[in-house]
Amino acid sequence: MTIGFIGAGSMGGAMIEGLIGSGTDPGDIVVKGGTHGTAAGLQEKLKFTLTDRYQDFKACRIIVVAVGTSALETVFKQLSQIVTKKNSVISVAAASSIAGMQQALGDQITVAHAIPNTPVSVGEGVIGVSYGSKLSDADKSLINQFLSKLGKIVETTDDQLGILGTVAGCSPAFIDVFIEALSDAGVLHGLPRKQAYEVAEQTLLGTAKLALKSGENPTVLKDAVTSPGGTTIKGIAALEKNGFRNAVIEAITAANNG
Ligand SMILES: NC(=O)c1ccc[n+]([C@@H]2O[C@H](COP(=O)([O-])OP(=O)(O)OC[C@H]3O[C@@H](n4cnc5c(N)ncnc54)[C@H](OP(=O)(O)O)[C@@H]3O)[C@@H](O)[C@H]2O)c1
């Protein structure tokens, strides 16, 4: 199955890396870039097919639009000239909407709106997705099969994609800050920097895996490691005293109001 990408910057590039990492042949990926040569630079590393012609996307079963807001209108105008029922178009642009895509491309074209986060580059992303109402079960299953190569799909409605995308899309940077802070604390108390990063990163990964595998909510997992009067509950009290929970909620709110 040939996959097309229009735009291969941060997000398009992360998705392409994730696809190739999950076994997709780079020869099955067709990419068109913008004017700054970003896609051409990535092509040297990932060896996908680079094109400047919209005609080359006709043969793509799935076409991913991954350009910024200012290029969206032009890209959809060009796409509307070449897409048919044989193509499915997924926009990962935050500024897209199912209704807007359907209006630009026509009601008969299969569309989906997805908001992935950058861990898609290692196949561990979260991909919020909403579908056009006319989508057949076969098309939906094909799109799900494609997106699931990049991580966990969370189906939602178009109006919930914004907040879902904010929580999943902005928090990798917040989590990087958290990892950095944990490592700083380790270094402050004598751990070598490299070791401090490794410990913080693996702890985060392990904690998330445990939560997913056990299916328990975080309160249950936290309660299990906080003995009465113990060190962990003292640490949690210090977090609360310093507004940790509120800081996270405010960060998501600020990003969402962006
Ligand atoms: N980054 C994220 O974490 C994230 C998460 C979810 C959704 N998104 C969405 O993904 C979209 C892209 O974001 P980004 O962060 O990847 O931005 P970006 O790094 O600026 O990438 C956008 C790319 O689009 C290319 N482009 C511009 N005009 C084009 C055209 N007419 N045809 C083909 N390619 C064109 C640019 O190529 P040149 O550089 O060569 O000009 C650029 O590399 C946005 O709409 C955003 O809402 C991003």
> 65 C-alpha vs ligand 1 centroid, how far in Å?
9
C-alpha of 134 from chain center: 24
Q: Indicate which residue's Cα is closest to atom 15 of ligand 1.
A: 10
pLDDT digits (tens, 9 = 90+) for 179-222: 999 999 999 999 999 999 999 999 999 999 999 999 999 999 99
pLDDT at residue 134 greater than cutoff 80:
no
> 152 C-alpha vs ligand 1 centroid, how far in Å?
22
pLDDT at residue 133 greater than cutoff 90:
no
Q: Indicate which residue's Cα is closest to atom 48 of ligand 1.
A: 11
The full DSSP string for 84-108 is -TT-EEEE--TT--HHHHHHHH-TT
Mean pLDDT over 89-106 rounds to: 95
How far is CA 128 from each of CA 40, 94, 111, rounded to the nearest angstrom? Answer: 28, 11, 14
Phi then psi for residue 110, to 5 deg, are: -75, 125
Q: What domains sit in the chain, N to C, each tagged with a CATH number?
A: 3-157 (3.40.50.720), 165-257 (1.10.3730.10)
